[in-house]
């Protein structure tokens, strides 16, 4: 099977993973940390807001079943891309909106979708940044809502495209 990888940050990684894992064509998801200066950060480190990392989700998907564009649209439709350094009650740079692209095609797709949203009147502060090392989060963060029977508190689906 041919697979591809995408990395998105949209606030608490629990909510981001909740929606990504439901998309048809997504093979696996993993919460983690990206974009900072500390090697092998822990949740406690990232929560200080001083490491530069964002809480993010790595998505492994089948491009024959779902496109990178469709995943990126889902990313934008399940969080508020106009909120600076946070989502809902989660505030801090670790909760920023970001797309960590792995190639020029992903970067171009992200930039085109951001422009489409802006053309529709949405405020978008989402960072589009070349991916650096992705550090998986501690085991208890993986499939958090599935394991605990809760629903996201700072993410919800809103059709934008």
Which residues participate in catalysis according to the annotation? 12
The answer to whether 5 touches 101, Cβ cutoff 8 Å, is no
Question: How far, in Å, are 37, 57, 60 from residue 82 at the CA level?
Answer: 25, 19, 26
Which residues, including other chains, have CB under 8 Å from residue 22's CB and lie 6 or more apart?
none
* Side-chain half-sphere exposure of 116, counting CA atoms within 13 A: 13
**Following DSSP, what letter does each residue of 138-159 receive, concatenated?**
PGGGTTHHHHHT---SS-----
The answer to whether 49 touches 94, Cβ cutoff 8 Å, is yes
The answer to whether 18 touches 30, Cβ cutoff 8 Å, is no
């Amino acid at each position: 099977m041919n697979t591809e990888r995408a990395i998105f940050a949209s606030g608490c990684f629990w909510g981001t993973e909740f929606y990504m894992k439901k998309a048809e064509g997504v093979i696996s998801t993993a919460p983690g940390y990206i974009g900072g200066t500390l090697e092998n950060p822990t949740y406690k480190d990232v929560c200080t807001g001083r490491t530069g990392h964002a809480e993010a989700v790595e998505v492994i998907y089948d491009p024959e079943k779902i496109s990178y564009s469709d995943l990126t649209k889902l990313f934008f439709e399940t969080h508020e891309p106009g909120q600076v350094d946070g989502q809902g009650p989660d505030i801090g740079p670790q909760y920023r909106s970001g797309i960590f692209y792995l190639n020029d095609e992903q970067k171009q797709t992200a930039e085109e979708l951001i422009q489409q949203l802006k053309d529709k009147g949405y405020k978008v502060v989402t960072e589009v940044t070349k991916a650096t090392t992705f550090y998986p989060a501690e085991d208890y963060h993986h499939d958090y809502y599935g394991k605990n029977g809760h629903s996201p508190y700072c993410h919800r689906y809103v059709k934008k495209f």
